Amino acid sequence: QQQVKQSPQSLIVQKGGIPIINCAYENTAFDYFPWYQQFPGKGPALLIAIRPDVSEKKEGRFTISFNKSAKQFSLHIMDSQPGDSATYFCAASNRYNQGGKLIFGQGTELSVKP
């Protein structure tokens, strides 16, 4: 029940395309859903995060869509660029009961071709 399932494992798109990465969870106590971006040799960097009372959130070219009833959320990258090539992780936590314990998905390796 603590798992977060992420798909696909890898994704290749052309420049300007809109890659979509999906995550699903079981634990309805999760109340915080961040997405992290990781480049080789670096630590994960926070991209965008959403709470379950919001269905969509946009920050620049990154959009999170959240479906509370389906217990699913997804990341869309608009007008993708080669510089977006990285590994993306979704995560979830029950902040007020379990604080900083983030449960991560397995990651999606994104490649944006020029």
- Write out the residues near another protein by the rule CB under 8 A: 34, 36, 41-46, 49, 89, 91, 95-96, 98-107
Residues 6+ apart with CB under 8 A from 7: 21, 22, 23, 108
Closest approach, Cβ 74 to another protein, in A, equals: 18
The candidate with the shortest Cα–Cα distance to 45, out of 53, 33, 37, is 37
Closest approach, Cβ 10 to another protein, in A, equals: 13
Q: Residue 36 or residue 73: which is nearer to another protein going by CB?
A: 36
Closest approach, Cβ 104 to another protein, in A, equals: 4
Q: Are 82 and 15 in contact (CB under 8 A)?
A: yes
103-104/4-7 β-pairing? unpaired
Q: Residue 83 or residue 100: which is nearer to another protein going by CB?
A: 100
Would you state the structure tokens that stand for residue 45, as one six-digit string? 């960097």
For 64, the 3-state DSSP assignment is strand
Closest approach, Cβ 79 to another protein, in A, equals: 26
Q: Residue 83 or residue 99: which is nearer to another protein going by CB?
A: 99
Q: Residue 36 or residue 66: which is nearer to another protein going by CB?
A: 36
